[in-house]
Amino acid sequence: MDEAEHLYQESLELFRSGHLDQAVQRLEQAVRLNPQNPDLLEALGVLYEKLGRLDQAIETMKRLVQLFPQHIMAHTNLSRFYVQKGMILEAEQEQGEARRLAWRAELQAQRALGNVREQSPEQETQARAREIEERIERYRKVIALDPADVLGYFSLGSALLDAKRFPEARDTFQKAVSVDPKHSPSYFNLGLALESLGETSEAIRVYEAGVNVAGERGDMIPLKKMSARLDMLRTKST
| CATH number for 216 | 1.25.40.10
H-assigned helices in the chain: 3-16, 20-33, 38-50, 54-67, 72-85, 88-112, 121-145, 150-162, 166-179, 184-196, 200-217, 220-237
Domain finish residue from 35, 68, 101: 68
| Same-domain status, 44 and 93 | no
Q: Which domain holds residue 23?
A: 1-68
| Same-domain status, 159 and 97 | yes
| Same-domain status, 52 and 92 | no
Is 208 a residue whose pLDDT tops 60?
Answer: yes
Is 216 a residue whose pLDDT tops 80?
Answer: yes
Mean pLDDT, residues 35-44 taken together: 93
Say what the pLDDT of residue 234 is: 86
Say what the pLDDT of residue 116 is: 47
Residue 238 lies in a domain: no
Give the model's confidence band at 134: pLDDT under 50 very low, under 70 low, under 90 confident, else very high.
Answer: confident
| Same-domain status, 190 and 90 | yes
